[in-house]
Structure 1
């Protein structure tokens, strides 16, 4: 169904996944939708995510899935229940983009990139007559309650829609469009916004010059990281100023909070999680036959040069006793002194608290204005959880608009394919 001349008008501010899916839900329900974005094109952060294969969601069972949202689970669970991982996969397939489950349980499009999905999606939105107003930076509201935008030349325009959805993202990767300037605009209207902080980011370490110059960019493969009793297996990468990577991101919220409280955090790295302490000790408790320590470790335990360098960072004079050396390999201490900047983080923690919203994601202090996506105060690890909650919240906000305008919901009643159900 397409909007008519008498259709209600809704402004969606932000052309990321949350804003675009909200626009689709609204347009399917015969609402006239305009998507505003300050960039010259939409979906830029989605395209950036596609460089890593576009991890859309995760295939694990639902209770475990929603537990990943930690403190925000009570607020997000109902939203995700209404648009589950299998619904997201079915939606992709309806756009002609089949998905598959990787070995880790993560879900990706078979194209393994975002551009085909985004092209098909924009084509659908065009067929639904969604309008786009690009290069328009939102400046808040004027005295008459109209939305105010300015273009790159500073020219101003106003809009007075029947409802508004704010989906401006967090503040990570601001060059892609989400710069967090909306925080002050909402504060001016009395909305208490939780401070924006980096999420799923790397950390700073006081590496030696040797570590910085010789091993920056080197991966630490098949390792396990432990902090505050939580252990994550995966990979990490040594950088000139610290460490990052999937295993680090999984612990990033705990690490960030500890650093904010104590000034540093002590992370332990198991360089050989596939070896039990006993089996590792047996490999180390053998004659060295004149080999250097590095050669012995490489041959006996298959440690990489960067792994051996990490051992020397923690203990320049490596212990000769097999027991002490085995303990060090299984728990290399690494002191983290800070989180890397929000601008380089994968996602954003903080945002609009759910206490500022009603059950439809409408701002209690500004009736008719709804919030979705990373603007909301939640965070999740990488693994598909970020995009799933972003889509689900965009749909929830759009349905909230429809309820407020007393318009029947005609949105996204999709059936997963047999292949999706089986996988």
Structure 2
């Protein structure tokens, strides 16, 4: 069997997207994957409906990657959400825009799309080697531990698309971090993103409300306000609104040892309007009944107010309204990186050139969640994985072309010096 032009290490969306571009350009591509099959985390994402991308305008879309939006802008502009939807439809899986603006395949599943994709890649000649764990380099060759022992493979260029460190049983375990650091690549520590945070709930609240949703709320941290939903857990709190603020929460914890967020339990009402409703309660009505009937709070919200206020709630309507609009919650720890939806940190962009190639190791490129960016849920994670995979593939082709031209030039120069015809 001939050696591949390209070795792609990692069989998730970024690696598969790169493979499709490269094999379409006539290059020989082999994908190396540590698990027995490809796309395992992609399939896991599909259990909730496979949120492929988002329909919001591109400037707002790209801002979701702050502070790395400038480094991802070119990749996302070259393969924007509309292009991802068209690609999906070409595989026989048309998509639709949900009421939230999120984009899903009409089948609402990942498995039909992945099957069609892998069938296409197989038909194009992409080779797949499973149960190959990347363990660094032997000389300049990427090396793997396999069931038959350690091997290294020759390749003209290599793409690393090894993912982050969440849900390691699906393939991405972050074991590449020390390998790249040893090679001189700057790597920021991996941290949980789009995951839960720890709270010091009372035993009563934890036992009574773990798993209860907090619907239609708003969260404020610093100057940032996010609307969405959250879920109480036995350890703390998680959910879409928390995920969207996770970077700010982590930064506050790193600076001060804790983060204080303010929950607005009735973001649809002004504080004055809410105070008016509370003041109009019937005489003799209990405070819990007033909060339920006049403020429209669910039992978990009422109990959450007591948690934030130290169990005793203010009796005056204006003070109670102010608490409902900004209930302070103290976050004192991050959740497990293993259970997070994605991870922050990774290969620093300072260690890459504009083609997504490692400065410390020419000919080796990086794409996907390995890179130091993060985004909230809503389709932004998969979009960036697809886009950076394709962008890295384009970078690889440009580098291979430049390398071939340089080699040809060197040969002509040597021939001229020796008087030998080229």
TM-score, length basis structure 1: 0.92
Query: Structure 1 residue 8: deviation in Å?
Result: 5.6
Secondary structure, aligned partner of 2:48: coil
Matched, 1:147 2:142: yes
Other-structure match for 2:7? 11
Query: Structure 1 residue 154: deviation in Å?
Result: 6.3
Does structure 2 retain, via aligned residues, the 8 Å contact 1:7–1:31? no
Does structure 1 retain, via aligned residues, the 8 Å contact 2:102–2:378? yes
Following superposition of structure 1 onto structure 2, how do residues 265-280 of structure 1 map, counting pairs within 5 Å? 265-280=259-274
In 1, Cα distance between equivalents of 2:376 and 2:233: 21
In 2, Cα distance between equivalents of 1:25 and 1:308: 54
Other-structure match for 1:162? 156
Matched, 1:399 2:374: no
Query: Structure 1 residue 271: deviation in Å?
Result: 0.7
Query: Structure 1 residue 7: deviation in Å?
Result: 8.7
* Equivalent position to 1:133, from 126, 129, 136: 129
Query: Structure 1 residue 215: deviation in Å?
Result: 0.2
* Equivalent position to 1:235, from 222, 229, 239: 229
Does structure 2 retain, via aligned residues, the 8 Å contact 1:9–1:33? yes
1:252-299 CA distance string (max 9 Å, x none): 100011101100011111111111112211210124343322122112
What is the aligned residue count? 401
* Equivalent position to 2:379, from 379, 384, 387: 384
Secondary structure, aligned partner of 1:217: coil
Matched, 1:336 2:331: yes
Query: Structure 1 residue 6: deviation in Å?
Result: 7.9
1:81-103 CA distance string (max 9 Å, x none): 11111101100000011111111
* Equivalent position to 1:64, from 43, 49, 60: 60
Q: Give the direction of change, closer, same or farther, for the CA distance of 1:324–1:178 in structure 2 (3 Å limit).
A: same
The unaligned stretches of length 5 or more in structure 2 are 403-422
Query: Structure 1 residue 147: deviation in Å?
Result: 1.8
The unaligned stretches of length 5 or more in structure 1 are 408-423
Following superposition of structure 1 onto structure 2, how do residues 193-272 of structure 1 map, counting pairs within 5 Å? 193-272=187-266
1:37-61 CA distance string (max 9 Å, x none): 1111111111111112111111111
* Equivalent position to 1:355, from 337, 350, 353: 350
In 2, Cα distance between equivalents of 1:48 and 1:159: 30
Does structure 2 retain, via aligned residues, the 8 Å contact 1:7–1:30? no
In 1, Cα distance between equivalents of 2:7 and 2:183: 19
1:345-370 CA distance string (max 9 Å, x none): 11111111111111111111211111
Matched, 1:286 2:283: no
Does structure 1 retain, via aligned residues, the 8 Å contact 2:186–2:347? yes
1:18-52 CA distance string (max 9 Å, x none): 00011111111111111111111111111111112
* Equivalent position to 1:77, from 73, 87, 91: 73
Secondary structure, aligned partner of 2:401: coil
Other-structure match for 1:309? 303
Secondary structure, aligned partner of 2:215: strand
Following superposition of structure 1 onto structure 2, how do residues 310-329 of structure 1 map, counting pairs within 5 Å? 310-315=304-309, 316-329=311-324
Other-structure match for 1:89? 85
In 2, Cα distance between equivalents of 1:267 and 1:73: 25
Does structure 1 retain, via aligned residues, the 8 Å contact 2:3–2:155? no
Matched, 1:55 2:51: yes
Matched, 1:124 2:129: no
Does structure 1 retain, via aligned residues, the 8 Å contact 2:65–2:373? yes
Cα RMSD (Å): 1.5
> Which of structure 1's runs of 4+ aligned residues deviate more than 3 A?
5-8
In 2, Cα distance between equivalents of 1:286 and 1:64: 41
In 1, Cα distance between equivalents of 2:222 and 2:281: 36
* Equivalent position to 2:362, from 340, 359, 367: 367
In 1, Cα distance between equivalents of 2:79 and 2:318: 52
Secondary structure, aligned partner of 2:321: helix
* Equivalent position to 2:28, from 28, 32, 43: 32
Other-structure match for 2:413? none
1:145-194 CA distance string (max 9 Å, x none): 2221112x461222111111000001111111111111111112111211
Query: Structure 1 residue 381: deviation in Å?
Result: 1.6
